[in-house]
Amino acid sequence: MTFLWQLFRDAVPLITHGNPYLMSIIGFTLQVAAIATGLATLIGVPIGLTISLGRFRGRGAAQLAANMSLALPPALVGAVLYLVFAQGAPLGGLQLIYTRRVVFVAQTILALPYIVALTAAAVQGLPGGLLDQARAFGASRPQLAWLALREARIGVVAAIIAALGTSLSEVAAIAILGGNIYGYNQTLASATLYEVNGAHYAAAIAIAIVLIGLILVLVCGLGLLQHQSGGLRLRFRHQT
């Protein structure tokens, strides 16, 4: 217990004194989380809406695939992407391996299933008559999608929270694709692994404290948005 307390006491000054290494990792982690979650949201929400509102052949298979993608091991995703981006591979010419760019790609792909599957589930959980009534009042497809998104906003925000959590805490894919290079393409989660492997336990605890605090702040902030009411009201012209 004394050993843990001493490590904690050594870790706190690294945070309070603004250790340059720690600050650079925090900045890169926030950048990765924001961009990866933003891209996953822009791509995933329309896909989730299409799955939940669409009437097309194979819709059930698409829903099943979206749900199954939530269980994909990050290490497997990292290994597959490595085979795609490695030198001599189909996309090897992009030269992404062991760069910062590949971290953004990996985190976006890992966050995407949460946005797609949870958005689709949130929309499908709406009262059955709500969207039918909107259709009866002449709602266009964009209006219908916006209404569904607005009414299912709590579930959609939950999807964004889940995606954000993944972007902040994932390690395996980053280590495989980015190499977890010291001070270059490390996130808080991968840097914790790096410091533990190097037996730099005080630094690992400092990074872990920041990561936990960051997750709590962001999740609480999004949780407040989740409980806000209101929003834009749509008007539909009744079909004659």
Averaged confidence pLDDT in the chain: 86
User: What DSSP state is assigned to residue 96?
Assistant: -
Q: 192: burial class by Cβ within 10 Å (0-12, 13-18, 19+)?
A: buried
Rounded mean pLDDT of 177-182?
92
Q: 44: burial class by Cβ within 10 Å (0-12, 13-18, 19+)?
A: buried
User: Rounded to two decimals, what is the model's pTM?
Assistant: 0.85
- Residue 203 region by backbone torsions, left for phi larger than 0, else alpha for psi between -120 and 50, else beta: alpha
Place of tokens 């904690």: 8
**146, pLDDT greater than 60:** yes
Q: Which residue has the higher pLDDT, 223 or 192?
A: 192
Per-residue model confidence (pLDDT) at position 240 = 42
Rounded mean pLDDT of 10-31?
91
How many whole angstroms separate alpha carbon 175 and alpha carbon 191? 10
| pLDDT tens-digit series, residues 108-144 | 999 999 999 999 999 988 887 777 677 776 777 788 8
How many whole angstroms separate alpha carbon 161 and alpha carbon 153? 12
| pLDDT tens-digit series, residues 208-237 | 999 999 888 877 876 776 666 444 444 444
SS3 186: coil
**154, pLDDT greater than 80:** yes
Per-residue model confidence (pLDDT) at position 227 = 66
Quick one: what percent of the chain has pLDDT higher than 90? 50
Between 19-23, 87-91, 138-142, the lowest mean confidence (pLDDT) is in 138-142
Query: Please, what are the domains in the chain?
Result: 2-226 (1.10.3720.10)
SS3 141: helix
